[in-house]
A and B are shown apart, each in its own frame.
Chain A
Amino acid sequence: MNENLATKWWTPVSLRGVVSFAWISLLITLLMCGISWMRGDDTGTSISLMVLIANSVIVWILPEDVPARPVPEKFGLFVVCGASMAVLSTNYLFHRSGTNIGLTLVDYWMASPSLVVGATAVAAAIKSSRWFMGKATTSEALEGLARTKRHTGRITQTAKQIVLLHLGIFAILPPIWTIMLSLSPGNSLSMDFSLSTATLEHYRKMWESDRFWSWLWNSIVVSVATTIFGLTIAFPAAYGFSRYRFHGRKLGLFMFLIVQMFPGALILVPYFIVMKGFGLLNTYVGLVIAYSVTALPLCVWLMKGFFDTIPRELEEAARVDGCSQLQIFTRIIFPLSLPAVAVTCLFSFLAAWNEYLLALTFLSDTDRYTLPVGLASMVSSAQAGDSYWGDFAAASILISIPVVLLFVMFQRYLVDGMVAGAVKG
């Protein structure tokens, strides 16, 4: 009984490794096909297609999870596929180095997973043949089980780390590119980055540029004013909705919910006309009002949700002690709700800081541009020769660093706030 169990539950640890990495390899081979096709490299495409087939067969043969039944008739297929994966990916590398473009890092990256999986499959052939045939002895199985127990965690962890590594590179590739672009000389897109020619000229140029500072100043003024003005309006409203049960309360709350779904495009033209009528185009005030209104519903809902968690009895007690309404507001509610206020501030600040469409529509004066409009204008100006990619990259890095730091520091609150906004409105 014990013997049967041991052999039944045992899979050679190398096979487990192959299973974990075959999935990664499958995905990368898929990309390999795509990239070869994009390059117009027919030989490469057909080689990678063959690798893909071999890889799929391996994924199909090998059980995904324990317990696995040994399947004798599949052993041959397994070894053949593993061998062909190894041979084909070597072949791919030779083929690529033969083309006049030569090998790139991308080629090595694409060929290596199938090389590793294939080689492991072949190397494990002897051990796995006994497993496939169901001929493993009990002592082998017991020893293997112990090994498996030791190694499985490490293998899955490595596989997960490899997946995350790819994901991480995918996530930071554009910022990396921007950093490289900002450090390379010249303002063109076709940069030739190397450490020896790296230069800070773009940063220096932006730092000394009046335009950049005036855009930054505009953005700061608008964002801070939006935050303050929006909070002044939203705080009492949220308090009113949370604390008082008056007629029309539900209707009011519902209004605050549905305006978030109005398309910006729908109100853009009328907004523009109204702002123009009041002479608020190209002014801070116009943008501040518009942004505050846009952010108002989310702010109200966020803070109302928080006020609901502050017990009403606290206020009743204060009132009994002779506090006026204003004192209740300033001495009790405000200090208690500081976390919610902080998150709400962060939201309206970031919304105003990153807003593009309204700013683009309302501002036509270059000196009044906020950073989004200003930076975008650096690389989309009329004349083709007028694009300042290097300067844009440097400015983007300067702008992004504080924002990214804010996100990293407050990520928990931001995520919770967004989820609350999504789930509650």
Chain B
Amino acid sequence: MSSLDRRRVADFGAFVKAAGGLVVQPRMGFGSPERMRAGLAATKSADARTVGTITLDSYTRVGDHEAVVDALRQGVGLNGYPIVHYDRAVTERVLDGIGGPDFPVQVRHGSAQPRDIFAALVASGMSATEGGPVSYCLPYGRTRLADSVAEWAACVESFARLREVGVEPHLETFGGCMMGQLCPPSELVAISVLEALFFHAHGVRSVSVSYAQQTNHDQDVEAVLALRRLCAELLPHPDWHVVVYAYMGLYPVTPEGAYRLLGKAAELAVATGSERLIVKTVAESRRIPTVEENVSALEHAARVAERSRPLSGPADSATYQEARTLIEAVLNLHPDIGTALRTAFARGYLDVPYCLHPDNAGRTRGYIDDRGWLRWADTGRLPLGRAVSSPRTVTAGGLLADLSHVRRAYDAPHAQVEPVAGV
């Protein structure tokens, strides 16, 4: 850590807040250092306000470094950049002359046990990454929540010590994206805020909070405004911003549909005063996108953002009230937020619909109502006192229809999802 030259290390949070408009970012990762460098260079030179991304491969995500070695030896393509495997000099060369204060690069990974990943990214001169003890544990594997909470706590504390050498480390919550789809927004907002509080509790003060676009624009606006109000009320330091993710469920298959949906995400970001947007590409429904497809997506989102305007919607809403209730119920369980999160899942105070992880109670269900809003079909043991929706049984056929709702809506010719009045 002492070898870090702080003049060359970006302050990711400060950069985004000072950008003067929506910052757009890809989800790009390649196994080859040359391709990774080319992807970063193309992102930087895109006609948009951008930050860079190094997305790691799925073997590195689960700590299977032998599989990385085998894949590289056999010339089998990796689905991301194996930052732990490569010598730090390799990653420094990937970033050299590209990453820096004028172009911060964030590492994206998806690991419940990210110790080696944190060490590798810091050693290579980077200071921004993302995830969280809940959001990188429950959806993607079998790591016990207690183990994830313990390892994330240690990693965040170690990461926070970058400030001792004059570098401001930045962490983004992935909690606003749980399962990609069919989790009602109030719980997404609650988990995103709780993970930001977890980062603060372990010493990182520059944070961003995520929210993934869901099924209805008006509901999404309500959710992001709720998220902003809760951050303003609850986060102990003003260095925070909101990052919107373009839809993470089944993506439209037509280029028109894919661009319309991405454009809607850009409108959402601008309407709610969000500072950053993670884009998706036209290739998303079929394969890992190329660098060119990523650049097209970044530029399309930037153009839509330029012609979108902020809304002054009410910050009070049913989503705000529900999210606030969930957050308070969790925080009241224990003064240590990691313990509070574990207890909350054990009691079903947090319960992610359709998540099959052994530490998730699995009693909640979400569905899409006839206006396209995500609703609770079953709130399980969530501490939402009054009935927040009419209970109903989710059938296999109903689930399939809901999972493809957005794809169908946006792929339809003359989709009925064109700009909402006032945006």
Q: Does B bind A?
A: no
On A, residues with C-beta under 8 Å from B are none
Interface residues of B (CB under 8 A from A): none
